[in-house]
Structure 1
Amino acid sequence: MKETLHMPTAGEDYPRTWTQFEEWFATEDDCLQYIERLRWRDGFECPRCGYRHEPYRGSRSRLICRSCHLQCTATSRTIFDKTRTPLKVWLAAAWYITSQKSGMSALGLQRVLGLGSYQTAWTMLHRFRRAMVRPGRECLKGTVEIDQSYLAIRERRETPRGMGQKRRTTKALIVIAVEILEPKGFARIRLRRIEEETALDVLPFIEEVVEPGSLVRTDGGSIYGSLGDTYQHERFAIRSVMPGSIPAHVPLPGVHRVASLLKRWLLGTHQGAVKPIQLDYYLDEFVFRFNRRAARSRGLLFYRLLEQAVMTEPVTYKAVTRKPTPTKRPYASNPKLWC
């Protein structure tokens, strides 16, 4: 089900400048009221029974449902849940994250906010990254390019006997989908890390992010052989090792441009030091930024990020750093795409 976006107004729903930001969020109560308005735009709705009415207001910013008497706060069950960091710092972090076109590293965020712990800044960034995927977002449509690319990731590892850290470079395989504009230009993108370059990994991704009936452009790989049952499929035979063959970036310029920008962003903003278990969330951040690169107002990006943050479940530092358990690769719901 697609979600209808509320169209906010600059200066009324979100601040235009940093000066206005400081005026709006001078105290913790100002921040809490803003979060409450974002979470319940049409008035308070009880998370347990769904009762819509002005709640009782208790101490410590508690909201008490008049029907079932549930006690909650505006930040409960959001990425701000049970945080000991002031909300003013959280909102300032959201502003800096969205106001910088290339993003911000955890060390840069720690310095600009004056945080005493690098771990705090790092966890804040990862919590915001989990809020950068909008539920029910629309599929890509029209002409869509699909291809895979490798990312070189420098993972820091502790050495024995307190000898400091060493870096190990690993390669991660990702699949890229780019919506092409006519006569030229790129629109939205989608990224996902996959285990292997096989139909069982790539085709479910295509089915999930590309609207049926769209024109899908790929290379001549055999893994795309069954796409013609659901999509208009345009294939290009690319043999880059043979003299006089067509370079891969000529028929598929979109995916190669996005792959280049992604690698530059990881190396520039994050120095290429991204742990593989968190790579998916860095890809979400890159998609969030790329798809909103033409936004006229940085304040609107701040609004959108917080709007999604109050709908995202909380995550702890342990959950962020926990190594995920291996799962079986998903199959496409359409058997024709993977058989």
Structure 2
Amino acid sequence: MMPTDATILGVPLKYVSLFTLCIQNSTLVIVMRYSRLDKENLYYTSTAVFLSELAKFVICLYVAGRNQVRETGRFSIQELYSQIFAPDAWKLMIPAALYTIQNNLQYVAVSMLDAATFQVTYQLKILTTALCSVIMLRTSLSGIKWFSLVLLTFGVALVQMPSGDPVNSSEDDDGYMEKIVGLGAVAVACVISGIAGVYFEKVLKGSKASVWIRNVQLSFFSLFPALIMGVWWKDGAGVWENGFFYNYNYVVLAAIACQAVGGIIVAMVVKYADNILKGFATSISIILSFLASVYLFDFIVTSTFLMGATLVLIATYMYSKPDPKQEIPTNNKEKEDDGYGYAYTPANNVNGNGYTSVDGSESQV
């Protein structure tokens, strides 16, 4: 197992992983938005979601196989197959379907909203995940975390406020409706992210299967709703007429790749960095997306947006901080080491990306 103080070219791996997470988070939103700008030559997002899930499946399957070799010293296809298609594997069908819907909604949102507004608004997944944790897992949140969630909600609300500029106020009806649809897509995606993430954690809490096996199951079961509900039902006629890779280019492929590797990067951050640094990386990603929107997409900066985005950054950092002197009974600290260094702690998945996450401050491996 690689030590947590490992380095790459002399740079501690925790900083490398954080830098990679910042770039991936900000690049994903920017690339997805850029790939949807040409309204005359749009690709079918359902095919992009399917390919992303397929790539996730291949990556997780590879890591699960490598994990098996590190544990047992050999690779057994039969053993890996029996672990993936265990009797309780069907439990992952529900979050798999939810994550597929969420991923499609993300494409809808970035088609309607600028990258900065999408990135800031999408942080509501922290709120929805926290609420779902309280309801479904009976998680207890500290006063500071509740305050950060209120601050987060207020900040997102400020971001959506009109600037009061007469030019912007005379925005055409089509543009206004696009923004409403985009915000609605983000809101639903955040709710789905919270439900699916907490349900996934609940499954992991009572499971003996490794985290990577669960992720293989999740990505595998995601292929079917992505193919049936998306490629066949949503865009079936167009795909049949124009082809699966209609209007694909290097930007579309980059968006698919960014979405596919996101969970692996999160796993690296969880292993080698703590939760505070992960929150800091998320904040940096928001800032990078904001700057990119200004220079690449002619985003108009308003005072209300700056105030709202600042509150969201503060709230994200506050929520990621561990509670001071928090004592957790041993029988409640249920963890699982997947054999590859990723410990599991319930009710901390706020990534909403189809991969489980843990509180890095608790993962000392």
TM-score normalised according to structure 2 size: 0.23
Greater strand share, 1 or 2? 1
Higher CA-based Rg: 1
Greater share of helix residues, 1 or 2?
Answer: 2
